[in-house]
Chains A and B, each alone.
Chain A
Amino acid sequence: MAFRPLLSRTLGLTQTLTHSHSHSHTLTQLRGLQTFSLPDLSYDYGALEPAISGEIMQLHHQKHHQAYITNYNKALEQLQDAVAKGDSSSVVKLQSAIKFNGGGHINHSIFWKNLTPVSEGGGEPPHGSLGWAIDTHFGSMEALVQKISAEGAALQGSGWVWLGLDKESKKLVVDTTTNQDPLVTKGANLVPLLGIDVWEHAYYLQYKNVRPDYLKNIWKVINWKYASQVYEKECP
């Protein structure tokens, strides 16, 4: 798919794919590199107003998320090189760039799905098993919202606040991660259901330094349907 032209570029060949059968051993060795691209939003940039401004959505998606993807791809290419050459110190040196940019890509991809316009059901509380689980674990929806907002507001610096599911114990958890660390860095069994970006770029142009206001308003556009889907997949 995407890596065939990449392969031929790397090999300096212009042969068609039929040749790859005879060079099958080289193909598996090179094992084409998957490059990532910016996922589309399923809504317009301005569709989440007034909770999140169109200006922020556009910048956040087209500039910030794109930058993470670009740098992630670059780091992966460099990593592939380093692995091929057996350059261990480069391999280790690249880990922080991969964690940061790869994490940024993972987290933002989830984030776009966590949001939806009011007209599409944004803000509507979850019915079904997730709603029931929330009531069981946290007492009520309001209590959960309070907890997440409080933890998000208290986070120093940059990071994310998550509602996650521990797929082993089947328990819901609220947790935070710093910078672009994905939720899985807080526990290998944690599956993110909902993530809220509390980096300043996520709200500054609109809410300035009043992060609590951002956290209060974002609930109006949270896509609980998606969170329920993920939950039901893990807890059928």
Chain B
Amino acid sequence: MGSCCYIPSPSSSHLLATDFFSWGFKSSKLPFLQKRRFDRSQRASKICGYYGLRTPPYKLDALEPYMSLKTLEMHWGGHHRNYVEGLNKQLEKNDILYGFTMDELVKVTYNNGNPLPEFNNAAQVWNHDFFWESMQPGGGDMPKLGVLQQIEKDFGSFTNFREKFVEAALTLFGSGWVWLVLKKEERRLAVIKTLNSTCPLVWDDIPIISLDMWEHAYYLDYKNDKGKYVNVFMNHLVSWNVAMARMARAEAFVNLGEPKIPIA
């Protein structure tokens, strides 16, 4: 299937990352592994793939006419696949980063603001996995129940949220992404934009929905008409079902309600 092996994670996955990292640094010149690389007869046992290209949860033509089959083929089969293969190639060279889940890999390679060269590929793989799942055939419309309530609480109304989201998409300078995230500290939803491959995971936010504003995401279908693309996404593609599932999971990490402390 898709992503890498499962590591039994301790209570804080962040701790695991630092431990792993410092271990890697101490023994960076693992001699037996180096030898294996140069020794041709050992080729068969060499690990070649770390992460797989996850397929979107719908057929590639299922988003027509809003996102064409051609775009999906190029975007998923070309760009997304290149990121996965690029990442695997980078990981081949160095075992320090082996064994993370995608989430953890993104945070580790971000390296607190001084990203390692693997960050770009790792984050883009994660971003695209998240993006395909943020859409569905027959999407759009409005969120319901808890998600709608939270949106109305944090933005005033769904219309206001939609306006903010569209505005963020249209005022993004360059390549990047627009996100609806749940901010952990502030315990509220927010619309944010990130540039290039940056992902709100690195700031410990919980992404709920994303929209790819790199030109390759819409150019074949809409040329330079960003406004049309964003509106089509909001009206016909965004999956509020997935948003609901993600919110439900997020509530395990963020307490959105006021605690009901009984007054004796």
Stretch at the interface among B3-11, B29-37, B211-219: B211-219
- Tell whether A156 pairs with B216 under 8 Å between CB atoms, given A178-B174, A208-B74, A209-B82: no
Q: Which residues of B contact A178 (CB under 8 A)?
A: 174
Type the 1/0 row for B215-239, where 1 means its CB is closer than 8 Å to any CB of A: 1100110011000000000000000
Q: Are A158 and B224 within 8 A (Cβ)?
A: no
Minimum CB–CB distance from B90 to chain A (whole Å) comes to 14
A201 part of interface (Cβ distance < 8 Å): yes
A157 part of interface (Cβ distance < 8 Å): yes
B74's contact among A59, A96, A201, A209, by CB below 8 Å, is which?
A209
Q: Are B173 and A59 within 8 A (Cβ)?
A: no
A226 part of interface (Cβ distance < 8 Å): no
A200's contact among B173, B176, B197, B216, by CB below 8 Å, is which?
B216
Q: Which residues of B contact A179 (CB under 8 A)?
A: 173-174
Minimum CB–CB distance from A146 to chain B (whole Å) comes to 21
- Tell whether A180 pairs with B215 under 8 Å between CB atoms, given A63-B224, A209-B78: no
Size category of the B interface is 10 to 19
Q: Which residues of B contact A67 (CB under 8 A)?
A: 224
A204 part of interface (Cβ distance < 8 Å): yes
Q: Are B224 and A59 within 8 A (Cβ)?
A: yes
A64 part of interface (Cβ distance < 8 Å): yes
A219 part of interface (Cβ distance < 8 Å): no
Q: Are B173 and A100 within 8 A (Cβ)?
A: yes
Q: Are B196 and A157 within 8 A (Cβ)?
A: yes
A63 CA to B215 CA, complexed, in Å: 14
Q: Are B196 and A209 within 8 A (Cβ)?
A: no
Given A96-B173, A200-B215, A201-B219, 19 additional A-B pairs, CB 8 A: A63-B224, A64-B224, A156-B120, A156-B196, A157-B174, A157-B176, A157-B195, A158-B174, A159-B174, A180-B173, A199-B215, A200-B214, A200-B219, A201-B215, A204-B215, A205-B220, A208-B74, A209-B74, A209-B79
The contact sample of 19 A-B pairs, CB cut-off 8 A, is A100-B174, A157-B174, A157-B195, A157-B214, A178-B174, A180-B174, A200-B214, A200-B216, A201-B219, A201-B224, A204-B215, A204-B219, A204-B220, A205-B219, A208-B78, A209-B74, A209-B78, A209-B79, A209-B216
Q: Which residues of A contact B (CB under 8 A)?
A: 59, 63-64, 67, 96, 100, 156-159, 178-180, 199-201, 204-205, 208-209
